[in-house]
Amino acid sequence: MTTHHFSATHYHITLGSHEPVLQIADGDTVLTTTVDANGMDARGETIAASPNPMTGPFFVEGAEPGDTLIVQLDRITPNRTYGWTRASVAANVVDPDFVPQLPAREKAEWRVDAELENATLISPKTKLREFVVPIKPMLGCFGVAPYDGQAISTATSAEHGGNMDYNDFVEGVTVYFPVFVSGALFFLGDGHAAQGDGEMVGTGIEISMDVQFTVRVLKNKKINLPRGENDEYIFTVGNARPLDQATQHATTEMLRWLQDEYGLDAVSASILFGQCVEYNLGNMFDPAYTMVCKIPKRYLKEFARPSS
Amino acid sequence: MTTHHFSATHYHITLGSHEPVLQIADGDTVLTTTVDANGMDARGETIAASPNPMTGPFFVEGAEPGDTLIVQLDRITPNRTYGWTRASVAANVVDPDFVPQLPAREKAEWRVDAELENATLISPKTKLREFVVPIKPMLGCFGVAPYDGQAISTATSAEHGGNMDYNDFVEGVTVYFPVFVSGALFFLGDGHAAQGDGEMVGTGIEISMDVQFTVRVLKNKKINLPRGENDEYIFTVGNARPLDQATQHATTEMLRWLQDEYGLDAVSASILFGQCVEYNLGNMFDPAYTMVCKIPKRYLKEFARPSS
Amino acid sequence: MTTHHFSATHYHITLGSHEPVLQIADGDTVLTTTVDANGMDARGETIAASPNPMTGPFFVEGAEPGDTLIVQLDRITPNRTYGWTRASVAANVVDPDFVPQLPAREKAEWRVDAELENATLISPKTKLREFVVPIKPMLGCFGVAPYDGQAISTATSAEHGGNMDYNDFVEGVTVYFPVFVSGALFFLGDGHAAQGDGEMVGTGIEISMDVQFTVRVLKNKKINLPRGENDEYIFTVGNARPLDQATQHATTEMLRWLQDEYGLDAVSASILFGQCVEYNLGNMFDPAYTMVCKIPKRYLKEFARPSS
Amino acid sequence: MTTHHFSATHYHITLGSHEPVLQIADGDTVLTTTVDANGMDARGETIAASPNPMTGPFFVEGAEPGDTLIVQLDRITPNRTYGWTRASVAANVVDPDFVPQLPAREKAEWRVDAELENATLISPKTKLREFVVPIKPMLGCFGVAPYDGQAISTATSAEHGGNMDYNDFVEGVTVYFPVFVSGALFFLGDGHAAQGDGEMVGTGIEISMDVQFTVRVLKNKKINLPRGENDEYIFTVGNARPLDQATQHATTEMLRWLQDEYGLDAVSASILFGQCVEYNLGNMFDPAYTMVCKIPKRYLKEFARPSS
């Protein structure tokens, strides 16, 4: 179990089978940094091209197609105080006839205080005045290299993860990705100090981050979509457009999970779904939208789950 | 302020301009009962036709088109112990290729204990065994008569409310409906002892209820969609298919609310949206799906809001 | 076989179980008129409320729930020269970011010449100058009373027909409707002198019509959606939003038709579908969109089809 | 103007910035071959990996980002007699509850006669017996390298073209692609001898082809999506899911075309759209669906169009 300190010298705007920047072992921990969605780093310098430049990829030894990569998000901390957001709700999330009433999409600027764990609106000057929100630092875009030699834009998301913009991808969460290529090739970036559900303005509070993560490999464990877990929930992440399909993806993957790992029959899984499932809207802005399907762990205590 | 005790003798399976069963005044309270989605009453007798037979309509004096009807849900309590659900996730919420793997859609039966505030699965016998869930009694279908003389099936929902199947329509919530006809004509029914997000099996735990509600009329206050309010949130309810459009409806109505009643400019409303909005999936089963857009009231304290 | 001449004295803006205006027998023919979408008649007087006021309903003797009503559109002829359209593509059919570039939705006016079979743009004055299009008179909204006592707005469509706005519902076409109530209760109106695919501006060239139609009843023949037939094609009509679901409805109904009436097995029907099917976009404007699934009759000659 | 004869030695399953196989000049013609969707060539040997292995990319001299690549499809001819299709309508194109009634997705085999211009069903043996359809050879997947270094799977389509599966991409058609990288990098493959609208079984009659095409470069001419032209129509191609968004894309691009090249104002373009537009369903099977928006050229004769 080695801990690596990694400083990026270049960034990627696709998740693909790019040259690894570091080779790490199953169980290793990495401390690194990410630049913001526009490529601005901790010092406020723009050092990478948009959108969502990625740190990585990290080659995880032993990860092969058909395995699962586990990424433990140990720490996600803003490493500067300047954050920015778009200042207009996006055109695709309102009724078409309402679009002309949206404001011009100017930027809003925030002062992020990682110690006070809040962000304060600096500009523009609006009726919100000195508006303060609690922060909840998250990664908007992270994932692995996709199959068939694809290189998928960091603007969007799919089975490999990518730009999911889900506001519960915070520190303490364990994320599971299907492995499509040797070494999995893990990428990360696009930190948000905070973000409402759905990323309805097209951004969170965009900021650069210090990130620590730990990887593990589950051999011969095939999953279809990103999955996650925190203290309260297991969850699956559907990335597609429209929301209906994103929801179908997440729902189907959760049914598989309940049946394959928790040993529930189809009727049991359905009954659990009917009364206990929760959904979160990750984003409704990117080319693929994201819906998250969650089952509270308290309902699963009695059901065997293998090693993972 | 009169309190009425109303016992239904007949029920409706559309929300339309039907003969009122009772005339009530602005400020009055009604205690009544609802039968379950299949028309079964407190004694277990099926006394009304499916789907979702409605108690009502109640004619609210003074309510005219262009006004808003406020309905305070004072109390929603199961009035029997027998509840039922479907026992298969619905075909439309999973990936199309997964549909053949769904179980046959048999019924599950529950014993509901209103005092213990839980429900216990009685049949079928599954791996869940004596599965117990907390209850959170709600109304699945309620609303007012729609415009233009329409009579809209209790299977679906729209601007007038109807079969929204949102699991936070519980006691203590205040609901706002646009008034489309003289007297508003309020209907209610389809109680669920509990229901997961999205009503993914097509039912909650269906049960008959004792309901108490209080009405008020906001004169010359035009809203476009159902709105609601509880201790923590204000929320708007989009009813449409697909989810994208339901979300657009809810988002647009919330933007209007923030601008019209809280005095926010378009940029302020957008910024609030960007960092503070939450969404809930009401249902993804009925002909129209339901998405709910919520803003925490703690962010709105400083902004004036008129009389309502 | 009687021929009835019917003059309307009132109109309906929902399709529902309204009082019949005329009782007709299986095989009878009706000559009547329809007003335009705004209720303007042959003389240019507005005599009915919007939207899409309907002539009817006609009670067809012997038609009972579970039967099919056949409506032969014998003749559809504009009975005045003044037609109108909206003059802007609708907001919902363009990319959301493009909406602010749409023109204000003013009206365009046309002179319709039924003998020359064309329409000439009169106003506004645009670069199109004296723009002339061929006419192809059609009914935008027609159908039967829906089930469960619903009264469905003439703004939309569903299993009962309604505002399908499909530009091949022209004279010579035979249309099949499911019968949901005794007498079927047939309504018609919303004539268009011409209309592009999809009704992308929200109207065709709206005009009043002389219409002749003939009804027949197919006893004990249950269909699920409107179907149609002309010299070249059989077709099914899916009415729903989004287009994906409208297409699923039309496709499913055609598969049923091929299997039930033409005796094709599921693989044969699929192969025919794979190489020979055609789709038309009826409308993408109304609350429910319309997609039409067509199979050329030349591929069906060898397959037995019962009496219908 | 050189004519190149190109024989492929390897194939690609993404459209990306791969090493060019041939450098050609503006105005050059290429004669080459394509293998079928499964990589089977003219001799019936499988020489490339699925899905839809591409011949190319061809580097077109002078094509730079911001230009338009014109590809004239001069000739598309099946170069073997064996064709295959899937034999079941796809699960995503029928109502979810109907999915269990679809046949198992076995293959159907066809004998394609390029001289007689038809295809005969060989197996399975069904009620269709010796079913014969006319052929209309087309390219299912072709396009250029996308922007930002993406490598996009040949399973799907986007602004760069790709797997559009539109049955009017036949010989005689001129196709316009936006250029995103130096040399444009043109790929082609996935020939279909015939295909119904929408590719509802997930394939056309898959076959290898002899293809001849000619390229031209329109300098400093920026388009956003694939466009096309044949004797009767100009058309735009929207690739996205769901169909609603594919249609929005195609509609928006056509409005831009009419305004930018034909000099129509927004109202003129809308009026033309309202009465004269036609839509075709390209595919409703691939990850991105395809809708095509068409304007008959006869309505455009009087409007100036620059050099292209």
- Residue A96 Cα, gap to closest chain C Cα (Å): 5
- Per-residue model confidence (pLDDT) at position A305: 66
CB contact under 8 A, C127 and D264: yes
C15, C95, C153, best to mutate vs chain B, most B CBs in 10 Å: C153
Per DSSP, D224 falls in state S
Between CA D109 and CA D115, with CA D112 as vertex, the angle to 5 degrees is 175
Question: Greatest CA separation found in chain A?
Answer: 56
Tally C-beta pairs within 8 A across A and C.
23
pLDDT at position B1 is 85
CA distance D234 to chain C (A): 15
CA distances from D68 to A269, D165, D180, D182, D210 (A): 53, 21, 9, 11, 25
Of residues A43 and B304, more confidence is placed in A43
Q: Both tokens of residue B91?
A: 């075909």
Residue B255, classed as helix, strand or coil, is: helix
Phi, psi of B241 (to 5 degrees): -120, 140
Whether pLDDT at B306 is above 70: no
Contact call for A274 and B303, based on CB within 8 A: no
Q: How far apart are CA B173 and CA B291, in angstroms?
A: 17
Of C131, C251, C281, the CB nearest to D271: C131
Cross-strand partners of B15: B152
- Burial annotation A259-296 (CB, 10 A radius, 16+ → b, else e): eebbebebbbbbbbbbbbbbbbbbbbbbbbbbbbbbbe
* Statement: residue B223 has pLDDT above 90: yes
> How far is C276 from C292, CA to CA, in rounded Å?
14
pLDDT tens digits for B95-149?
999 999 999 878 999 999 999 999 999 999 999 988 999 999 999 999 999 999 9
Of all residues in chain A, the one with the smallest CA distance to B265 is A127
A92 touches chain C (CB under 8 A): yes
CA distance B143 to chain A (A): 22
CB of D97 less than 8 A from some CB of B: yes
Asked if A150 and D153 come within 8 Å (Cβ–Cβ), the reply is yes
- For D93, name the nearest residue in chain B, comparing CA atoms only: B96
Taking CA atoms, what residue in A is nearest to B192? A275
Amino acid letter, C209 = M
**D70: enclosing H helix or E strand:** strand D68-78
A90 to C96: CB separation less than 8 angstroms, yes or no: yes
pLDDT of residue A308: 46
pLDDT at residue D105, as a whole number? 73
Contacts of A281 in chain B (CB under 8 A): 247, 279, 281, 291
Measured CA to CA, the distance from residue A232 to residue A234 in angstroms comes to 7
Contact D90 B96 (CB under 8 A): yes
Is the minimum CB–CB distance between A19 and chain D shorter than 8 Å?
A: no
Helix, coil or strand: residue B71: strand
Helices and strands (DSSP H and E) totals, chain A: 2, 21
Residue B172 predicted with pLDDT over 80: yes
Rounded CA gap, C282 and C56, in Å? 24
What's the CA gap between B225 and B284, in Å, rounded?
A: 18
How large is the average pLDDT for residues B197-214? 98
Q: What is the pTM of this model?
A: 0.98
Phi, psi of C199 (to 5 degrees): 50, 50
Nearest in space to A108 (alpha carbons), one of A211, A170, A193:
A193
If contacts are CB pairs under 8 Å, which of residues 249-308 in chain C contact chain B? none
- pLDDT at res. B105: 73
Chain D residues near residue A148 by CB distance under 8 angstroms: 13-14, 153
**Cα of A297 to nearest chain B Cα, Å:** 13
Residue C243 touches chain A, beta carbons under 8 Å: no
Low-confidence ranges of chain D (pLDDT < 50): 307-308
Mark the ranges of chain C whose per-residue pLDDT is less than 70.
Answer: 304-308
Q: In the predicted model, is pLDDT for residue B308 greater than 90?
A: no
- To the nearest whole Å, the CA of B146 is away from the closest chain C CA by 10
Largest pairwise CA distance in chain B: 56
**In whole angstroms, what is the distance from residue D97 CA to residue C256 CA?**
13
Question: Contact partners of D by the rule of 3+ C-beta pairs under 8 A?
Answer: A, B, C
Q: Is C144 in a helix, a strand, or coil? A: strand
Interface test with C, best of B150, B159, B160 (most C CBs within 10 A): B150
Q: What is the pLDDT of residue B177?
A: 98
The answer to whether B167 touches B136, Cβ cutoff 8 Å, is yes
Mean pLDDT of chain B: 96
Residue in A148, A152, A240 closest to D150 by CB = A152
Cβ–Cβ of D200/C275 closer than 8 Å? no
Provide the terminal-to-terminal Cα distance of chain A, rounded to the nearest Å. 18
> Do D247 and C93 count as a contact with CB atoms less than 8 A apart?
yes
Query: Subunits touching C (CB < 8 Å, at least 3 pairs)?
Result: A, B, D
> What is the per-residue burial (b if ≥16 Cβ within 10 Å, else e) of A60-87?
bebbeeebbbbbbbeebbbbbbbbbbbb
Domains of chain D as residue ranges with CATH: 3-79+139-218 (2.60.120.580), 82-134 (no CATH), 227-299 (3.10.28.20)
The nearest alpha carbon in chain C to A102 belongs to C100
Query: Which residues of C fall within a CB distance of 8 Å from A240?
Result: none
Give helix D243-260 / helix C243-260 axis angle, nearest 10°: 120
Option in D14, D149, D244 nearest A149 (CB)? D14
Query: pLDDT exceeding 70 applies to what percent of chain B?
Result: 98
Using a CB–CB cutoff of 8 Å, tell me whether D100 touches chain B. Answer: yes
* Cβ <8 Å between B89 and A251: yes
What is the C-alpha separation between D229 and D172, in angstroms, rounded? Answer: 9
Asked if the interface predicted TM-score (ipTM) of this complex is over 0.90, the answer is yes
Residue-wise pLDDT for A85-127, tens only, equals: 999 999 999 999 999 999 987 899 999 999 999 999 999 999 9
- Inspect the interface and report whether the beta carbons of C96 and A97 lie closer than 8 Å: no
Plot region of D178 (φ>0 → left; ψ -120 to 50 → alpha; else → beta): beta
Q: Is C152 on the interface with B (CB under 8 A)?
A: yes
So what's the pLDDT on residue D271? Answer: 96
B13 vs C14, C148, C153: nearest CB: C148
Cis peptide before A124 (omega within 30 of 0): yes
